[in-house]
Structure 1
Amino acid sequence: MSARVLIADDDAVVRDIVRRYLERDGLEVRVAGDGNEALRVLGTERIDVAVLDVMMPGPNGLSLCRTLRHGGDYTVPVILLTALGEEDDRIAGLEAGADDYLTKPFSPRELALRVRSVLRRAPAAPSTVPLEITVGALTVSTASRLVTVTGEAVGLTNREFDLLLFFLTHTDTVFSREELLKRVWNWDFGDLSTVTVHVKRLRSKLGDHHRVQTVWGRGYLWRGEAGSGDRGDG
């Protein structure tokens, strides 16, 4: 079964060009001209990746992303399209729960590559990853992609889950943001703030049960043993 992608943008030209590129890659495509139509599609069809325009009418892409992430019940990967290139705007999108973003004008080919990257969610070989990982009160089911803390479910986006699983299977090893971008996101290049924001969100959602330590000037590591480490957002 082909992966199905939703393109939600109020620009018909953008929708048509992107649709043709994605269909050329063998993907199924659904389109929406505004946020309300996008919500209808998301509520009635299986969607594997949602590409949302930040500036479209109705619930805009940023608002729609926050709605999808509220409570963690809808885990479809989200790529935001934005005409705003400032770092604060990009970070706002990532903090809303987006897995990725592209700034307009963008290359349709690059978007197709980003969609493919988001669809690949296998940071480690299945044979090397336990079906369940428990660290203190934190439990991760790798098969169902379910995370609980003291028995309560924690809603993570797909990228946040991938990052957590990577850390748990590579404990006590420092990884730079460049290395994490390549090994978790499968990107050879990209905005390093993507990693920074996802680490911050992961720390926030896991609270005192995270073991992500900042190694200043080098990157991040997950401590294999609980201890008094840095819990900052850097």
Structure 2
Amino acid sequence: MRVLVIEDNPVLRANLELLFAGQGIDSRFAADGLSGLQEALAEPPDVLVLDLGLPGLDGMRVCEQLRARSDRHVPVLMLTARDALEDKLAGFRSGADDYLVKPFAGAELVARCVALSQRHRAGTPHLLTVGSLSIDRRSNLVQRHGQTLVLHHTALQLLLLLAEAWPRTLTRSELVERLWGASPPESDPLRTHLYTLRQVLDKPFPVPLLKTVHGVGFRLEADT
């Protein structure tokens, strides 16, 4: 799970970083509304934890802009000291999925983030299709033109990321972060796994699915 926290209090940011790291959750942070919104749009997290009293662009506006401009639904948990019913209702009207009042228990925040990420995936189909490619996420069965493709763990995870993002292009840094979190290997393992994936996914077939978008990243391109 990848969590983006938009919070201007440096002490709380540090505490949340420790909390999420202790649970094995990959967390990123922004200190103001505008930069946080830009990051959420550029690399959508699995859950956005959003303060309301932010400099530049407050949390309500961030949520509204995210809902208007994002190409997917990003679960939003508003984390704020505003405990009045009117504030909570305003938060939900702006597009929030959940609302937690400060002070809060760290275990509850983590539990709510996990629940939001799972709820967001609840309506996602098990079968992904991109052109001649099909991926069954329950069985990890990958087929192209009806032919079963055998992929080891990392290459399969890489293909799943690309298929779930399709037709969007994923940047190299986004793929590395999603595959290895905040501690990627010192070498360049992505190059190796891309090569391995291409050997299985594209080499046996006349039309490649995996495309390099020069200067941007990588994406799948439907062949039918």
- TM-score, L = length of structure 1: 0.49
What secondary structure does 2:83 align onto? coil
Q: Do the aligned partners of residues 61 and 25 (structure 1) sit closer, same or farther apart at CA in structure 2, a change above 3 Å counting?
A: same
Q: Do the aligned partners of residues 111 and 37 (structure 1) sit closer, same or farther apart at CA in structure 2, a change above 3 Å counting?
A: same
1:27 and 2:22 aligned: no
Query: In the alignment, which of 99, 106, 109 is matched to residue 108 of structure 1?
Result: 106
d(CA) in 2 for partners of 1:98, 1:125? 20
The answer (yes or no) to whether the contact 1:17–1:108 under 8 Å persists in 2 is no
d(CA) in 1 for partners of 2:53, 2:3? 19
1:58 and 2:56 aligned: yes
d(CA) in 2 for partners of 1:124, 1:48? 14
Query: In the alignment, which of 87, 100, 123 is matched to residue 89 of structure 1?
Result: 87
d(CA) in 2 for partners of 1:39, 1:125? 24
**TM superposition outliers: structure 1 runs of 4+ over 4 Å:** 122-127
Task: Summarize deviations over 1:73-118 as a string: whole Å, max 9, x none.
Answer: 3411111112111111101101111010111111222111110110
Amino acid at match of 2:100: L
Amino acid at match of 2:14: D
Count of residues in Structure 1 that have an aligned counterpart in Structure 2: 128
Q: Which runs of 5+ in 1 are unaligned?
A: 132-142, 144-234
Q: Do the aligned partners of residues 89 and 20 (structure 1) sit closer, same or farther apart at CA in structure 2, a change above 3 Å counting?
A: same
Larger radius of gyration: 2
What secondary structure does 2:8 align onto? coil
The answer (yes or no) to whether the contact 2:41–2:69 under 8 Å persists in 1 is no
Counterpart for residue 4 of structure 2: 6
Task: Summarize deviations over 1:99-151 as a string: whole Å, max 9, x none.
Answer: 10111111222111110110112658978xx99xxxxxxxxxxx9xxxxxxxx
Task: Summarize deviations over 1:14-53 as a string: whole Å, max 9, x none.
Answer: 1111121112211111001111220232233241111110
Q: Identity over the aligned pairs, expressed in percent?
A: 38
Q: What root-mean-square deviation, in Å, do the aligned CA atoms of Structure 1 and Structure 2 show?
A: 2.6
Counterparts of 1:124-163 in structure 2 under 5 Å? none
Counterpart for residue 164 of structure 1: none
d(CA) in 2 for partners of 1:35, 1:120? 25
Q: Do the aligned partners of residues 125 and 15 (structure 1) sit closer, same or farther apart at CA in structure 2, a change above 3 Å counting?
A: closer
Q: Which runs of 5+ in 2 are unaligned?
A: 129-136, 138-224
- TM-score, L = length of structure 2: 0.52
d(CA) in 2 for partners of 1:38, 1:104? 20
Amino acid at match of 1:38: G
Task: Summarize deviations over 1:194-225 as a string: whole Å, max 9, x none.
Answer: xxxxxxxxxxxxxxxxxxxxxxxxxxxxxxxx
Counterpart for residue 160 of structure 2: none
d(CA) in 1 for partners of 2:73, 2:16? 23
| Structure 1 residue 60, shift from structure 2 partner | 1.2
Q: Do the aligned partners of residues 124 and 109 (structure 1) sit closer, same or farther apart at CA in structure 2, a change above 3 Å counting?
A: same
d(CA) in 2 for partners of 1:71, 1:48? 16
